[in-house]
Amino acid sequence: LEPFSGCCDAFRAQLVTLAKNRQAFTRDAELVGNRLAEIVNMIGSLTKYVTRDAMTFKRPLGDCLQAIVKVYELLPAHKELRSTTVFFLHRMLSCLKGVVVPHIHKTMELLVANVTAESLLQVSQLVNQIIVMARTESIPIVAHIFQPYVRQIYKVIASFNYIDEKTETSAYSTQIKERDSMRSIYFGFIRHVLLTPDFLPTSLYTPRNKACYEEIIKSVLEGISDRDLTVAKHCVSILSQVVEWGSKLVLDAKKTPGKKISPPLMHLWSLLTKDIGAATIHGLSKGNLDPTDAKANMIMLTIVRIHHKLR
């Protein structure tokens, strides 16, 4: 414990000293960010050796966490510092799990506000890990960042719209693949969140997120017909899960005299059942589902199950 604490304290002292050097920031903030990122990376790498017994090292790890989130707030758009901060938060979640979550609300807000096409996958994976490692503790933070993060993802995807008008360029195929990748990340993120037990009914469908949910449902219904089968598979999985949840909700309400479904949840269920049949039939009729393709087969099977649930 003592040698590890000593190393952590030494690295943290360097981090704090450099972060307080205003003259260095004025001269070259990019260079300072690179140096800070190097120190954060060293601290993160050091934690790999204590994962199994991390709670024994809770004090030095917690001190480093407090310092690093403060340092990241100084340069939230710095590429290297953002990347190493995300790496460090992954390590902290692996070590301390739910203990970390209350301390990273501001950090997650900044990561979401500064997300780019380059960092979209990083941030999505971090949110996913927060949910997996600390399901109960993560509900408030995921509910808080859900709407702004979805909005930021929409902005990132929209930044690729110019390629629709430039199909003749040599870089077109690369750019279209990159946009498809962003869309796949988006639907994968939505799928991960909505497939987490209790997330949908207990926290995410709030008045603040209501309009966002309507947009998400619309995009998911449209995504069933997507030419990218990975996207289509994500979308039918999302719908299957929500239909499973919604049908149980309605069935329980019918079985229990006097039990009522909350208006927001009833609104979501109505939104789905109104359009889901037409959307899934349209997806089947698009002609891009090859019966010999495993993904296409899974999509068709899931659609059949959805209709069975909606009978």
Encoded tokens for 34: 């690179």
- CA-CA distance, 168 to 226, in Å (whole number)? 22
- CA-CA distance, 111 to 141, in Å (whole number)? 13
pLDDT tens digits, one per residue of 213-224: 778 888 888 888
Residue of 111 and 56 predicted with greater confidence: 111
Residue of 5 and 167 predicted with greater confidence: 5
Count of residues making up the chain: 311
Task: Record the pTM.
Answer: 0.80
pLDDT exceeds cutoff 60 at 238: yes
For residue 206, give the DSSP letter: -
Percent residues over pLDDT 70 in the chain: 83
CB 146 within 8 A of CB 207: no
User: What is the predicted pLDDT for the residue at 40?
Assistant: 93
Q: Residues with Cβ < 8 Å from 21, sequence gap 6 or more?
A: 32
For 288-301, what is the mean pLDDT? 81
Q: Residues with Cβ < 8 Å from 10, sequence gap 6 or more?
A: none
- CA-CA distance, 30 to 86, in Å (whole number)? 18
- CA-CA distance, 104 to 89, in Å (whole number)? 9
User: What is the predicted pLDDT for the residue at 73?
Assistant: 92
pLDDT exceeds cutoff 70 at 21: yes
For residue 202, give the DSSP letter: I
- CA-CA distance, 297 to 292, in Å (whole number)? 7
Look up residue 236 and give its amino acid.
Answer: V
- CA-CA distance, 289 to 284, in Å (whole number)? 7
Residue of 157 and 265 predicted with greater confidence: 157
